[in-house]
Structure 1
Amino acid sequence: MATTPSVHEAPSVSETPAERLPRSFPLRDLAVAPENMRFGEAPDDEIPELAETIFAAGVLQPLTVRPGKKKEKPAMALDGRRRWLALQLLLEAGRIAEDYPVPAFVETDPARQAAAIVLTNTAVPVHVADVIIAIGKMTKAKLTSAVIASALGYAEIDVRRLLALAELHPKALEALRSGRLNLKQARLMARVPSKKEQGEIAEAVLNGFGFQEWRITDRLDAGQVTVRDRRFRLVGAERYGAAGGRLESDLFGERPDVILDPEILQDAWIARAEALSAGLRTEAVQVLVSVAPSQIDDPALEPFGDAYGMGLDAEALSAWDQAQDAAQDAAATLHEQDLSLPEADGAIAALLEAKLAAEVAGEPFREISLVQVFSDGSTGLDVRAFGPPAPVVAPEDDEAGRAGDSDEADEGDGAREPTAIVRRGVISVVPVAVAPTPELEGVNHVLHDVRTDTATRALIRALADDPAVALTALVARLFGVLVLRQNRAKGGGALAIDAETYGRVGVSPIEALDGEIRRRLAERRAAWEASEVSPIGWVDGLAHGEKMALLAELVALSLDLREERTTSVRRSARAEAVEIAALCSADVTLHWTPDAGFLGAHPKPKLFDMLDEMGAGESRAGACKKDELVALVAERAAERGWAPAYLSWAAEPPAEAEVEEEPPAAVAEAVGDDAAEAPLAA
């Protein structure tokens, strides 16, 4: 065991030693210092292997020497005896000459000389890039991985990994040495088979563009099936191997094993899934096994599980809750088990039966005719039941069951009764906001179309600039469509979730409103094309703020509040638009004021009304021609930053409340003037 060197006074911070750089000495000027701890010992059996590695790759670790004294060689090795012996072996064999350059650190300070005798880490560490290059040279010199590992003191698997890195493009090794590339990234690049592509990626890294890891991982993942496949957990390595399946392990141990025979995995999974689900099959129930839930095209079948307990009485609801708890307990028992073992068969079969019972308990008035069994990553298998849909029971109250979006229902004032949704015999009342009554007097169909068209574009701009509100609108729409099943027909809601971009045939976008959003999306499309990845991969790589902004733009451009006729007022959509506009503080004047295209659709009386509303009435306006009046209104609106309120979907102001009588003087004196005036101020 090495002894601890004597303790010396630590130098001050200002006395930082200069950087130590190795010098080169000819071999003939080197010898082992007598104070070396192993001076005079015979060479060990591994010196020949060390000599081979030095001959192939040179001396990677410089020796530590002191200046020679009288009758000594110029450089006496304090550390590096085995390397000197290996060099002597090569010299005796005639493979190197006496002038062979040997790198060495020269220590002149007695304290550092003492440390060099007992410590082996006084030299500057060798960069991993140098080790990689050296191992590559050793391999070219016909040294095996075992010999190199023995000489360097590495595990053989580590040598094999470094050898794989030695095949990297020189620019990649340069980037690794310069710190632009870390070892993990270098290992990932080593998996790229094309040296040319390696060079291109490394060139980009050296030029400061960063390492695009996703380009490599996407390529490696494409078309590969690994042991992370959800089928593999149910099949297991033993069953897969017994069927003749092969696995390929990652050399660096960083990526999952690759399944080389996916068809064998598929056959093994189907065989086991069918065996475990055999108990679900009866004369009346068909069992369909598929890896992923497939689309059932039979229109006579409807899936279970959408009712969420609606229509159940207290007793049936309690039974449904208990069945769900039992299914969850059955699933919990499988989370920590090895699903590939035969011991798990009973628990998996019990889970399938429990989940099927829970679906039946949720809709006991329906019959099951088809059970779909599919793969699940945590429990091995899962089920979904299908059967004929339950008959829709019409409500007794005809007014409650009447659709709220028909022309007849839209007649009347702006107040709207809650919509009644009838599904599976259950009536759910959905409250809606109250939209203001549209101005229809003196407005023909063409003008009404223009107004609602422009108002739609105005709210598109406001919503696109408020991602949080766009998210709210989107989630609310999805909830209404998927859960409440309301406003599913075209025009039923403010958002057209069917992913139809809003537009009007023959009419160009308004540049400052929806035109701005289309421009943003065009730029995003260009960015996606340049990324050369799938849309999902591109969106996943966006920062959260960018994702939210993109969501707002897409949701906003799906808005459709246009009404082509005065008799097609969409009160449901209008009510939603009022709420959305209030949430995102929609104000069309922030981006646009009425222009000639918008104003030209209005008759002259409406244009005069606009001048009066903005306080810009002029005596000369009456003498203007239509086009002159349009230009005047556009000019005054731009000066004042004005636009009709309906373009920002402002809510109808409440009716003025009756003013309370002034409280008696005695009351005011008793409670104080401020308290007496508070109700009036409020």
Structure 2
Amino acid sequence: MPRSSSARALKGAPEAAAGPTPFEITAARVRQSVALRDLGVAPENLRAGEPADDDIPLLADTLFAAGQLQPLTVRPGRRKEKAHMALDGRRRLLALQHLVAQGRIDDGLLVDVFVETDPARQAAAVVLTNTAVPVHVADVIGAIGRMLASKLEVPAIARALGYAEIEIKRLAALSALPEVALEAMKAGRLTLKQAKLLARLPDRDERVALARMALDGHGFPDWRVNERLDVSEVNAGDARCTLIGPERYAAAGGRTEADLFGERAPVLLDPALLTEAWTARAREIALVFEAEGLTVHVTAGAEPDLPDDLETPGYVYGGLLPAAEMAAYREARSRHEIASETAAEVLAGTTEPGPVDAVLIDMIRAKLAMDQIALGGRAVTILVLSPDRRTGIHVRSWTPVEPDIVEDPDPQTDDDRKVDPPAAPFSPPQAAAPEPEVEGVGHALHALRTEVATRGLIRALADDTKTAMTALIARLFSQVVSRAHRPRGESALGISAQAFNPVGGRVIETLDGVVRQRLDDRRAAWEASGLTVIGWVHGLDDADRSTFLAELTALTLDLREERTSLIRRPARSEAAELAALADADLTRHWTPDAPFLTSHSRPLLLGMLEAMDQADDRAAALKKPELVARVAEQAAARRWAPASLSWTLAPDPDEGETYPTEAPADDGVAADDPGADGRAVDAVDAEDVEAEAGAAGAGDEADGTGAFEVTTAGVYALVQAAE
């Protein structure tokens, strides 16, 4: 049995609509301009018979100053009615008629209206307000600016528009924004919250520049404006306020200015009084410890100048102290954490000296006990107290540096004394790596080979974001966890890096050249954005950011070995692991070319042909330029590269294990064959070996034991170095 039409409609079956939907009716509304004389109030309007209220003259003034912002909703007139009758907007119509009566406008003024022809929509307009398109807040801001320019007061504007006075004050503050900012708001590229941030900036030129950047689609740097305001203002969130509180600050004569928009903490206009009040309170607590013989410095700014022979305990982690001392330290640290929590809870409820001083003194004593254990039992002699946002006071303790123990030149022997042997240094495991080919290879050629191999792995790592991230995290881990002292850089992150760019080397376009070009394109995109590096990088999507990280990480790779006597085995081990993870294959992007092959001797070139099964008597008779061309041609045809350029281990077909890949043995290096820098390749002499051996062992940073070169500050330096 066929279904009824109503059943089909309920199931959503395709069927011709009986008429236009309400949404289609709304979209089809006619917006037009109608002469004021042709407008009247529809009798079905709920307030059609009411007289004009007392605020109609005020509304007339606002309309005259700001213009009409919202269209009236009208229907066509019937019989003896005027041509159009207002269903919504009666007060605005009365205000316009009041202006006609005053002679300020004539009755031919064109009024913006929506014409409703659908009966259902006409009925809705009678009982609902704002059935027209809502007014954009940017239009309201601009209108209020024009009203203020016409000498209308804020209370009058608030009554006329039906806004609270505080809202009018806020919108009035926004009316000082440049016109380009209002355009960006109407275009949806600047939010109201961002506009409020923009209005707080005192420099008009900066406001225009930031608004223009947003309008052009480059985004708005909220963080930059917030940072600028935080630096230029002292607000109620300052660390000094935790101990002082607003009442004590006000009692000292301090003034406070509330944020007009209610979105930021109140600004303290007298920070000097705040510092004086905090210092006086901290001195009261310091007197307790000075009475016990400690020297206490109280500072709300920079730390005081202390003697150079003092030290403060750093972070204590497992292994730094003996087991018993470590257990005692952890217990003392737990007591200090509990005391700090108690102090924070008390300060959250009151700043009265009675209850606050007791918990702060307990917290400082717990800190002293913890630090003295960390210092190996040495007594703390100096305390430095500074503001803390959570506990009111931050404590740093200092003690004299432990003197070096001078060995007795004539020690007495004690056969019964037992001395524990020094613990063996931790030796991390290393992955297997191929052995270098050094027989018959000069220093310059070895350096060239490792350089090209490095560039090949750069390309592989740049194309494998996961492995690149693994490499970077591993490098960061080795730096951060190491106990070796490294000076702090100027960057927020304690990491620095340098792009691979050896002196005299050449960029290989299909290998690291591709990576450098990608980074150069990113540099150009950043410069065009007008954003800071952090802001620009933060705006990238996750996939693009991961690729960017892979490119930067890959370009810090440095596996070059300057001489055959300076083999960087730990770096080779890292390279072997990375190559395996990234499935690195140099021949995907490059095969030996003429510049690379020219640095090889004739026996080495013939050995390459033999490895490709292309060796014959005719090749041996070729001159070196023709031989280079022959090898390059055969290598390109077979996508082949020497095994010495690979960082991976070849599988042993018999044992199923890995072993270092061996290349054909070289017969030696011709004395007249040029090296990578155009000079003759010299044999390794004893003086070179001795000099190089003396240069080795200068530490991880100096001898390059890692696969990544880390020497210069700033990640963006990588991008600049890629040019």
TM-score range relative to shorter protein = 0.7 to 0.9
User: Which residue in 1 is equivalent to 2:331?
Assistant: 322
Contact map agreement 1:311 1:425 (CA 8 A) in 2: no
- After TM superposition, the structure 1 = structure 2 runs for residues 229-240 of structure 1, keeping only pairs within 5 Å, are 229-240=238-249
- After TM superposition, the structure 1 = structure 2 runs for residues 92-171 of structure 1, keeping only pairs within 5 Å, are 92-99=101-108, 115-171=124-180
Instruction: Give the deviation of 1:147 after TM superposition.
Output: 0.8
1:49 aligns with 2:58: yes
Deviations 1:510-560 (A, max 9, x none): 343344444444444444444444444444344334443343333333333
SS of the aligned residue for 2:151 comes to coil
Cα–Cα, structure 1 residues 618 and 170, in superposed 2: closer, same or farther, change >3 Å?
same
Cα–Cα, structure 1 residues 497 and 619, in superposed 2: closer, same or farther, change >3 Å?
farther
Instruction: Give the deviation of 1:363 after TM superposition.
Output: 5.1
Which residue of 24, 28, 51 maps to 2:34?
A: 24
1:432 aligns with 2:429: yes
What is the CA–CA distance in structure 2 between the aligned matches of 1:555 and 1:65, rounded to whole Å?
A: 66
User: Which residue in 1 is equivalent to 2:373?
Assistant: 361
What is the CA–CA distance in structure 1 between the aligned matches of 2:476 and 2:78, rounded to whole Å?
A: 88
- After TM superposition, the structure 1 = structure 2 runs for residues 185-200 of structure 1, keeping only pairs within 5 Å, are 185-191=194-200
1:477 aligns with 2:487: no
Cα–Cα, structure 1 residues 334 and 613, in superposed 2: closer, same or farther, change >3 Å?
farther
What is the CA–CA distance in structure 2 between the aligned matches of 1:622 and 1:307, rounded to whole Å?
A: 67
Instruction: Give the deviation of 1:160 after TM superposition.
Output: 2.0
What is the CA–CA distance in structure 2 between the aligned matches of 1:69 and 1:533, rounded to whole Å?
A: 60
What is the CA–CA distance in structure 2 between the aligned matches of 1:354 and 1:90, rounded to whole Å?
A: 77
Instruction: Give the deviation of 1:25 after TM superposition.
Output: 4.1
Instruction: Give the deviation of 1:152 after TM superposition.
Output: 1.6
- After TM superposition, the structure 1 = structure 2 runs for residues 454-473 of structure 1, keeping only pairs within 5 Å, are 454-473=452-471
Instruction: Give the deviation of 1:153 after TM superposition.
Output: 1.2
Contact map agreement 2:170 2:260 (CA 8 A) in 1: yes
What is the CA–CA distance in structure 1 between the aligned matches of 2:20 and 2:286, rounded to whole Å?
A: 74
What is the CA–CA distance in structure 2 between the aligned matches of 1:483 and 1:45, rounded to whole Å?
A: 76
Q: Which amino acid aligns with 2:331?
A: Q
What is the CA–CA distance in structure 2 between the aligned matches of 1:589 and 1:281, rounded to whole Å?
A: 73
User: Which residue in 2 is equivalent to 1:448?
Assistant: 446
What is the CA–CA distance in structure 2 between the aligned matches of 1:177 and 1:435, rounded to whole Å?
A: 62
Q: Which amino acid aligns with 1:225?
A: E
Instruction: Give the deviation of 1:308 after TM superposition.
Output: 0.8
Instruction: Give the deviation of 1:634 after TM superposition.
Output: 3.0
Contact map agreement 1:435 1:578 (CA 8 A) in 2: yes
Which residue of 301, 309, 313 maps to 2:318?
A: 309
User: Which residue in 1 is equivalent to 2:555?
Assistant: 557
User: Which residue in 1 is equivalent to 2:217?
Assistant: 209
Cα–Cα, structure 1 residues 525 and 62, in superposed 2: closer, same or farther, change >3 Å?
closer
User: Which residue in 1 is equivalent to 2:591?
Assistant: 593
User: Which residue in 2 is equivalent to 1:506?
Assistant: 504
- Pick which of 282-291 and 547-556 moved more: 282-291
Deviations 1:62-118 (A, max 9, x none): 555666667666656555554455455545544444555555556666666655554
SS of the aligned residue for 2:640 comes to coil
What is the CA–CA distance in structure 2 between the aligned matches of 1:425 and 1:389, rounded to whole Å?
A: 23
User: Which residue in 2 is equivalent to 1:417?
Assistant: none
Contact map agreement 2:368 2:380 (CA 8 A) in 1: no
Instruction: Give the deviation of 1:146 after TM superposition.
Output: 0.1
Deviations 1:216-253 (A, max 9, x none): 72785484235345455455444444455444444333
Contact map agreement 1:277 1:349 (CA 8 A) in 2: no
Contact map agreement 2:454 2:557 (CA 8 A) in 1: yes
Instruction: Give the deviation of 1:310 after TM superposition.
Output: 1.1
Deviations 1:234-281 (A, max 9, x none): 554444444554444443334444454555555555555565566566
What is the CA–CA distance in structure 2 between the aligned matches of 1:477 and 1:108, rounded to whole Å?
A: 72
Contact map agreement 1:371 1:383 (CA 8 A) in 2: yes
Deviations 1:187-244 (A, max 9, x none): 44545667677666666666x6354345972785484235345455455444444455
Instruction: Give the deviation of 1:150 after TM superposition.
Output: 1.1
Contact map agreement 2:576 2:649 (CA 8 A) in 1: yes
Instruction: Give the deviation of 1:302 after TM superposition.
Output: 5.0
SS of the aligned residue for 1:559 comes to coil
SS of the aligned residue for 1:21 comes to strand
Q: Which amino acid aligns with 2:225?
A: T
Instruction: Give the deviation of 1:157 after TM superposition.
Output: 1.5
Instruction: Give the deviation of 1:322 after TM superposition.
Output: 1.9
- After TM superposition, the structure 1 = structure 2 runs for residues 52-63 of structure 1, keeping only pairs within 5 Å, are 52-58=61-67, 60-61=69-70
Q: Which amino acid aligns with 1:510?
A: I
- Pick which of 286-295 and 16-25 moved more: 286-295
What is the CA–CA distance in structure 2 between the aligned matches of 1:297 and 1:642, rounded to whole Å?
A: 65
Which residue of 619, 622, 645 maps to 1:621?
A: 619
Q: Which amino acid aligns with 2:145?
A: G
Q: Which amino acid aligns with 2:155?
A: A
In the comparison of the two structures, how many residue pairs are matched?
612
1:350 aligns with 2:347: no
Cα–Cα, structure 1 residues 84 and 474, in superposed 2: closer, same or farther, change >3 Å?
closer
Q: Which amino acid aligns with 1:26?
A: L
Cα–Cα, structure 1 residues 103 and 583, in superposed 2: closer, same or farther, change >3 Å?
closer
Contact map agreement 1:165 1:190 (CA 8 A) in 2: yes
Q: Which amino acid aligns with 1:308?
A: Y
Instruction: Give the deviation of 1:591 after TM superposition.
Output: 2.8
What is the CA–CA distance in structure 1 between the aligned matches of 2:541 and 2:535, rounded to whole Å?
A: 12
Where relative contact order (Cα < 8 A, 6+ residues apart) is larger, the structure is 2
SS of the aligned residue for 1:592 comes to coil
What is the CA–CA distance in structure 1 between the aligned matches of 2:433 and 2:288, rounded to whole Å?
A: 56
TM-score (norm 1): 0.74
TM-score (norm 2): 0.70
Deviations 1:350-380 (A, max 9, x none): 3344344334434535554555555554444
Q: Which amino acid aligns with 1:209?
A: G
Cα–Cα, structure 1 residues 625 and 391, in superposed 2: closer, same or farther, change >3 Å?
farther
What is the CA–CA distance in structure 2 between the aligned matches of 1:637 and 1:159, rounded to whole Å?
A: 77
What is the CA–CA distance in structure 1 between the aligned matches of 2:62 and 2:35, rounded to whole Å?
A: 20
Instruction: Give the deviation of 1:429 after TM superposition.
Output: 1.9
Contact map agreement 1:64 1:79 (CA 8 A) in 2: yes
Instruction: Give the deviation of 1:151 after TM superposition.
Output: 1.7
What is the CA–CA distance in structure 2 between the aligned matches of 1:55 and 1:154, rounded to whole Å?
A: 18
Instruction: Give the deviation of 1:643 after TM superposition.
Output: 2.2
- After TM superposition, the structure 1 = structure 2 runs for residues 476-495 of structure 1, keeping only pairs within 5 Å, are 476-485=474-483
Cα–Cα, structure 1 residues 430 and 88, in superposed 2: closer, same or farther, change >3 Å?
same
Q: Which amino acid aligns with 1:354?
A: A
Instruction: Give the deviation of 1:156 after TM superposition.
Output: 0.7
What is the CA–CA distance in structure 2 between the aligned matches of 1:309 and 1:333, rounded to whole Å?
A: 27
Contact map agreement 1:32 1:77 (CA 8 A) in 2: yes
What is the CA–CA distance in structure 2 between the aligned matches of 1:114 and 1:318, rounded to whole Å?
A: 80
What is the CA–CA distance in structure 1 between the aligned matches of 2:650 and 2:290, rounded to whole Å?
A: 60
Instruction: Give the deviation of 1:144 after TM superposition.
Output: 0.5
What is the CA–CA distance in structure 1 between the aligned matches of 2:303 and 2:643, rounded to whole Å?
A: 49
What is the CA–CA distance in structure 2 between the aligned matches of 1:487 and 1:580, rounded to whole Å?
A: 28
Instruction: Give the deviation of 1:464 after TM superposition.
Output: 3.2
SS of the aligned residue for 2:34 comes to strand
- After TM superposition, the structure 1 = structure 2 runs for residues 528-567 of structure 1, keeping only pairs within 5 Å, are 528-567=526-565
What is the CA–CA distance in structure 2 between the aligned matches of 1:104 and 1:528, rounded to whole Å?
A: 47
Contact map agreement 2:240 2:389 (CA 8 A) in 1: yes
Instruction: Give the deviation of 1:504 after TM superposition.
Output: 2.7
Contact map agreement 1:226 1:258 (CA 8 A) in 2: yes
User: Which residue in 2 is equivalent to 1:404?
Assistant: none
Q: How many percent identity over aligned positions?
A: 49
SS of the aligned residue for 1:472 comes to helix
What is the CA–CA distance in structure 1 between the aligned matches of 2:316 and 2:122, rounded to whole Å?
A: 83
